[in-house]
Amino acid sequence: MKILVINGPNLNLLGRRQPEIYGMETMDRCLEHLRTLCEIEYFQSNHEGDIVDCLHRVGFDHSYDGIVLNAGAYTHTSLAIADAIAAIELPVVEVHISNVSAREEIRHRSLIAPVCRGIVAGFGLDSYRLAVEALIYGKRS
């Protein structure tokens, strides 16, 4: 199993960014744990087009089994990322650290949800593990 984890804008600041919402754990620690489950590649960008390019690059590569994507604020705004997800062949699981449905109204809408395999939100950085496990077990069943 090989899974690509993509993080969007501001998620490079995990561990320092609004810890009351996003916790104190760093992405490095989270990746360390994910790598005990399967092979994990990681990509982070603060730029919408870079995320689109990354989805194009990996999305037709069947040496990967799926993509876990936390698009950050682009979740709520980016038709370009939604179109890229719709265009590619690999399954994408949408992830959020916080429970976006319990936050400001603008975060309730996801443009990418309709084209993702599923959504995991609200479990802190454990959301990434749950999404990786969904791809692992989804593949087996």
Active site residues: 22, 96
Task: Please state the closest distance from residue 128 (CB atom) to ligand DQA, in A.
Answer: 10
Q: Does 7 bind ligand DQA (CB under 6 A)?
A: no
Taking phi first (over 0 means left), then psi (-120 to 50 degrees means alpha), and beta for anything else, what does residue 87 get? alpha
Question: According to CB under 6 A, which one of 51, 67, 96, 134 is a site residue for ligand DQA?
Answer: 96
Question: Is-contact 101 108, C-beta < 8 A?
Answer: yes
Site string for ligand DQA, 40-79 (x = CB under 6 A): ------------------------------x-xx-x----
Task: Please state the closest distance from residue 10 (CB atom) to ligand DQA, in A.
Answer: 5
Q: Does 129 bind ligand DQA (CB under 6 A)?
A: no
Name the residue among 49, 108, 112 with its Cα closest to residue 79. 112
Size of the site for ligand DQA (CB under 6 A): 10
Name the residue among 7, 82, 73 with its Cα closest to residue 40. 7
For residues 55 and 64, give the distance between their C-alpha atoms in angstroms, rounded to a whole number: 12
Task: Please state the closest distance from residue 77 (CB atom) to ligand DQA, in A.
Answer: 9
SS3 81: helix
SS3 53: helix
Binding residues for ligand DQA restricted to 107-126, rule: CB under 6 A: 107
> Which residues contact ligand DQA by CB under 6 A?
10, 70, 72-73, 75, 96-98, 100, 107
